[in-house]
Structure 1
Amino acid sequence: MTGRVAAMPTARRPQQRRSVATRERLLEAAYESLLEGGYGAATVGDVQQRAGVARGTLLHHFPTRDLLMAGVVEDVVERRLKLSAAADDASAPAGWNDVVDLVWTELRSPAFAVLLELWVAARTDDDLRESLVPMQERIYDTVHRSVIRLVGPSHPRAPILVQFTINLLTGAHLAGILRSRSGTSSVVEAWKHALRELAAPPRRS
């Protein structure tokens, strides 16, 4: 009896590995579908076909489309956001200019394009919004803490300056998402200059 019980975890491992691999394949397929065709094209059927699995297999891992989309967001947070990795890297940039460059690069990445598809769709989809709200808070928290770690938490104005940076650069990016706008790079450079002034210690009179 003891021998059979001890052998069960070993017997399950290959099946568990297959289950994890299938889930990852489904998330990758959903991500690619969102990136290539947008939210409207990222149907359960399209994801199923891209992943090469049976419909029942997909529904076993993600019973609803909303849960599948929420899984994509979680996957983006875990694997695709570079800010978090940079903050944990001992050789990561540590100046305000580097932070601006890092956030600006992230906003123009495929991962942000996928998140944007889902955020816009969730505005008018109550079920999707309910699934995404916890992930949204996690993203904001991850990005905020990661950037603050880059510049140092001891700076008295670090939290608000980080928020200013994220908000301003997000707006600059969205303003040119349909058509590139001239002068955007100048805005980014101007913000670097303004940020250095804002982050500087108060001048003694």
Structure 2
Amino acid sequence: MSAPPSAPRRTQQERSAATRALLLDAAFECLLASGHGATTVGAVQARAGVARGTLLHHFPTRSSLMAGVVEDIVERRLEVLTSPRRAGDWDDLVDAVWRELQGPAYAVALELWVAARTDDDLRAALLPLQERIFLTVHSSVTALVGEDHPRTPLLVQFTIDLLSGSHLAGVLSPRSGTTVVVEEWKKVLRTLADG
């Protein structure tokens, strides 16, 4: 009896990409569970189950690892960016943004942005990504309602800013009335879009 055929051997590039993804997943999970302060190179290395040299080969500094997490969030973790886009209405826009703000990807991104305020190396690593991220999120959210309305860019920005602020106000402890704010914003947004 012959042995079953073995799976095709992965290329070096495929193995490298898989290791990088493993490291980013481990860093993401560390940030989500323990925060930026506890997400050390050693903690990520242990969670990923790789040698320190392997981690440092892909991410030579902690800041480059954290920047990699942010890029990974944009590339594959933000639902509003990765889900198939379909034109909806303003209510769909509000629901999509609000849902995204409740998710783990936003929690990790927020953790890193707050840490970057006082961490010069992290700030230097994140600054080049910041504008690209904001433009990508804005254009993806805009696609939810279509770009043909003349006020779309401004109304999308209002929505992102208002809902981000509402979410941040309840990060430490949920605030009563937040759901009402979200539902009332839908009504106001429809009025502004129609006016």
Alignment of 1:65-80 (within 5 A): 65-80=62-77
**Do structure 1's residue 195 and structure 2's residue 175 form an aligned pair?**
no
Q: Give, in whole Å, the separation in 2 of the partners of 1:17 and 1:85.
A: 22
Say if 2:57 is the partner of 1:60.
yes
Render the CA deviation track for 1:14-58: whole Å, top value 9, x for unaligned: 222211111111000000000000001100000000111111111
Residues 1:185 and 2:179 are matched in the alignment: yes
Matches for 1:148-167 after TM superposition, within 5 Å: 148-167=142-161
Coordinate RMSD, CA, aligned: 1.3
Are the equivalent residues in 1 in contact too, given 2:87–2:146 (CA < 8 A)?
Answer: no
Q: Secondary structure, in 3 states, of the residue corresponding to 1:154?
A: coil
For 2:102 and 2:155, how far apart are their aligned partners in 1? 20
Cα deviation for residue 134 of structure 1 reads 2.1
8 Å Cα contact 1:30/1:47 also seen in 2: yes
The structure 1 segments of at least 4 consecutive aligned residues displaced by more than 4 Å after TM superposition are none
What's the counterpart of residue 21 of structure 1?
Answer: 18
Aligned pairs, number: 187
Q: Is 2:139 the partner of 1:139?
A: no
What SS is found at the alignment partner of 2:37? Answer: helix
Give 1:154 shift: 1.3
Aligned to 2:93: 99
TM-score normalised according to structure 2 size: 0.92
Segments of structure 2 that go 5 or more residues without pairing to the other structure are: 1-8
Query: Quick one: percent identity of the two aligned structures?
Result: 66
